[in-house]
């Protein structure tokens, strides 16, 4: 069984002065034991301390306590197939001329089973969120687009140019 990453939902929302999307992303790994998740994001408007402008950062490493990663953290130590659903509400404050582009590059790598099999399958999922307000603070752009979705079994998933996962 291959690794899979699937967008279950991306819904526009606006509340409490923020707007963006409510995303549900499902990741399935055949062997959770030893599996790896690299949740990379790049933005022109950082929202977490230590997040650089315009550079890929592994958010699971930078902010492992985020509720977004709770399914991954809670499944640590499990064996066998794992189906994990991540809930992410990326948003910005609704204010005059607010604008953010947020790119996602999510990589899931399979772990090994008790016999040492597996560990070579991977899935890569990429998307872009664009949020923008006009000079009056009205929402004029609220887009979420999948830009790539692929799987492989050669043990070597693609990463953004210049990014080193280890």
For residue 120, what are the domain limits? 4-152
The verdict on residue 157 lying in a domain is no
pLDDT tens per residue across span 14-36: 999 999 999 999 999 999 999 99
The verdict on residue 159 lying in a domain is no
The verdict on residue 59 lying in a domain is yes
CB atoms within 10 A of CB 35: 25
- Model confidence at 116: pLDDT above 70: no
Whole-angstrom distance, CA of residue 111 vs CA of residue 5: 15
The verdict on residue 37 lying in a domain is yes
Secondary structure letter of residue 1 according to DSSP: -
Task: Tally the domains of the chain.
Answer: 1
Neighbour-count burial for 125-164, b at 16+ CB within 10 Å, e otherwise:
bbbebebbbeeeeeeeebebeeeeeeebeeeebeeeeeee
- Model confidence at 155: pLDDT above 70: no
């Amino acid at each position: 069984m291959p690794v899979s990453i699937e967008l279950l939902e991306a819904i526009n929302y606006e509340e409490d002065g923020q707007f963006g999307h409510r995303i549900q992303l499902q990741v399935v790994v055949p062997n959770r034991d030893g599996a790896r998740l690299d949740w990379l994001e790049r933005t022109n408007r950082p929202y977490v301390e230590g997040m650089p402008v315009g550079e890929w950062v592994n958010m699971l490493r930078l902010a492992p306590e985020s509720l977004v990663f709770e399914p991954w953290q809670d499944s640590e130590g499990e064996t066998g197939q794992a189906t994990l659903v991540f809930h992410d509400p990326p948003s910005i404050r609704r204010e005059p001329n607010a604008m953010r582009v947020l790119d996602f590059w999510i990589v899931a790598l399979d772990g090994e089973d008790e016999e040492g099999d597996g560990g070579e399958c991977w899935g890569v999922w990429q998307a872009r969120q664009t949020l923008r307000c006009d000079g009056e603070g009205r929402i004029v752009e609220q887009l979420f687009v999948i830009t790539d979705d692929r799987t492989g079994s050669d043990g070597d998933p693609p990463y953004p140019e210049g990014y080193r996962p280890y």
